[in-house]
Structure 1
Amino acid sequence: MKKPLVAALLALVIAGAGAAPAVAATEPEAAPPAVQAVDFAGTVSLSNCSGSVVRMPGSEDDDPALVMSNGHCLETGFPAAGQVIVDRASSRTFGLLNAAGTRVATLRAAKIAYATMTDTDVSLYQLTTTYAQIRNSYGIGALTLGDTHPVAGTAITVVSGYWKRTYTCGIDGFAYRLKEGQWTWKDSVRYTSACRTIGGTSGSPVVDNATGKVVAVNNTGNEDGGRCTDNNPCEVDANGTVTVRAGINYGQETYQIVPCFGLDNKLDLSRSGCTLPKP
């Protein structure tokens, strides 16, 4: 998982902010050309991860805003395999960034609306402020979650509010199952090798450069070639064949979140089309 581990911090101190985690040496790929600039507006910094203010395609301006990050970025620690958290009180704070990556406000959660590390790795916090209040006070809109499955070959940008850095690459393909320690994730997004995300980028929105919509949430990568262990996820195909891709990083798709939120941005896991794991 891409939390800011000590090793990642040491690597940055020793080699500079552009350093990559220790991985097998590979030639960096040329990044796909961006159709539009992706900036930091609407992203947030957490105490240990990255995130973003997000809305559903049908969200209204007076709805309470949502912040998305990873399940493993919860202030209460990693959810266990099979655990799903809904409607848990939280007063966590988030640093709201503008387009240049400057912190312009502190947002506060009212609750954890949803969080899990089963099938996916996501947390969604409901804030004490609405989208309209954030926009009117700071001139910043939320990022919209795409409602369709991402496509291989798409040019993407991983936007880290924690490091105030972006990583541009493409969607290389999808892992049928991605296994890391006790957790297994379904249909994960595999990046091309140009996205060398590091600790602290967990929870970053993965933005489709062409549409500006969020297609995934960044969550992990194979750091040193280990097989299916913590910080070394492996891919498992439908036949059970295991593939290890040292140095390759991954995100979890977010289109399946959209059907699970209805009127007033309320979570309803019984809604038609909602396939998120239930408690």
Structure 2
Amino acid sequence: MKKPLVGTLFALLLFGAAAAPAAAETRSPQQTRPAVKAVDFAGTVALSNCSGSVVRTPHAQPGDPALVLSNGHCLETGFPAPGQVVVDKPSSRTFGLLNSAGTKVATLRASKIAYATMTDTDASLYQLTSTYAQIEAAHGIKALELSAARPAQGTAIKVVSGYWKRIYTCAVDGFAYRLKEGAWTWKDSVRYTSACKTIGGTSGSPVIDTASGKVVAVNNTGNEDGARCTDNNPCEVDESGNVTVRKGINYGQQTYGFVACVGAGSKLDLSRPGCALPRP
């Protein structure tokens, strides 16, 4: 998992503070670039140990309590065990809200952990004490929208870290049928192209489709040392059980599945039609 450990600051000194740019593309005059939404830090948050973002579903209302998306492994209570699902657990955790320039403009507070797990996916949703309308009125910042559609291979993406105030630019290289890391296994994970060299502290960063400006995944891990299926060294397992190790490649967990599970008032309801998130 991409958590801020001792090696993170060393990595910054070793490799430099600038993120690696995406590879340049050569295009003929006849080729046209897809429309690109401006992606910045507005709506992202910094946690004590990770990154995150204020998010909403397409049908959310201004008066609904706002939600913060991060990783399951970023919980203040520690990693959920394999098979564990946390629902409606009281929390007073705080988040530093960033504006477009990456400057902290407010401290937001949770009322509860609405949902968190490291089974099948690695995600957490915190419900805040503030509504979307209150955040926008006070700070001029809108929540990022969760896409209801599964991203496609080749999608141009940006991984936006509120913890480090860094933006990584790459594309969806493909998908891992199963991604196994230590005791945990995740399904249909997003694999990035090599330009997204995410590091510890980027866990929980929103992965944004640059064409739509919507969140399609949450950043969570990468293979650091080339080891096979160990902590901090996830491996891909295909439908036949074949294992592939991709040293230096990083991954995120898709988020479109949350859209069907969140109802009126930001209420997470795992019994809603179409909701396939793991249940307690």
TM-score range for the pair, normalised by the shorter chain length: over 0.9
Identity, % of aligned pairs? 76
- How much has 1:13 moved relative to structure 2? 3.2
For 2:11, the equivalent position in structure 1 comes to 11
Runs of 4+ in 1 over 6 A off after TM superposition: none
Q: How does 1:50-69 map to 2 (within 5 A)?
A: 50-69=51-70
For 2:23, the equivalent position in structure 1 comes to 30
Quick check: 2:22–2:169 contact (8 Å CA) kept in 1?
A: no
Q: How does 1:77-96 map to 2 (within 5 A)?
A: 77-96=78-97
Seen in structure 2, the aligned counterparts of structure 1 residues 165 and 19 have a Cα distance that, compared at 3 Å, is closer
Deviations 1:34-65 (A, max 9, x none): 82321000000000000000000000000000
Over the residues paired in the alignment, what is the CA RMSD in angstroms? 1.3
Q: How does 1:212-231 map to 2 (within 5 A)?
A: 212-231=213-232
SS at match of 1:148: coil
Mapped pair 1:251 → 2:248? no
Where do 5+ consecutive residues of structure 1 fail to align? 21-27
CA distance in 1, matches of 2:64, 2:101: 26
Where do 5+ consecutive residues of structure 2 fail to align? 26-32
- How much has 1:29 moved relative to structure 2? 5.5
Seen in structure 2, the aligned counterparts of structure 1 residues 251 and 31 have a Cα distance that, compared at 3 Å, is farther
For 2:237, the equivalent position in structure 1 comes to 236
Quick check: 2:19–2:166 contact (8 Å CA) kept in 1?
A: no
For 2:212, the equivalent position in structure 1 comes to 211
- What number of residue pairs does the alignment pair up? 272
CA distance in 2, matches of 1:19, 1:4: 17
Deviations 1:103-140 (A, max 9, x none): 00000000000000000000000000000000000000
Quick check: 1:31–1:169 contact (8 Å CA) kept in 2?
A: no
SS at match of 1:135: helix
For 2:76, the equivalent position in structure 1 comes to 75
- How much has 1:12 moved relative to structure 2? 1.4
Seen in structure 2, the aligned counterparts of structure 1 residues 29 and 265 have a Cα distance that, compared at 3 Å, is closer
CA distance in 1, matches of 2:247, 2:15: 20
CA distance in 1, matches of 2:19, 2:70: 23
Amino acid at match of 2:231: D
Deviations 1:146-203 (A, max 9, x none): 0011100000000000000000000000000000000000000000000000000000
For 2:159, the equivalent position in structure 1 comes to 158
Deviations 1:241-263 (A, max 9, x none): 00000000000000001100111
For 1:24, the equivalent position in structure 2 comes to none
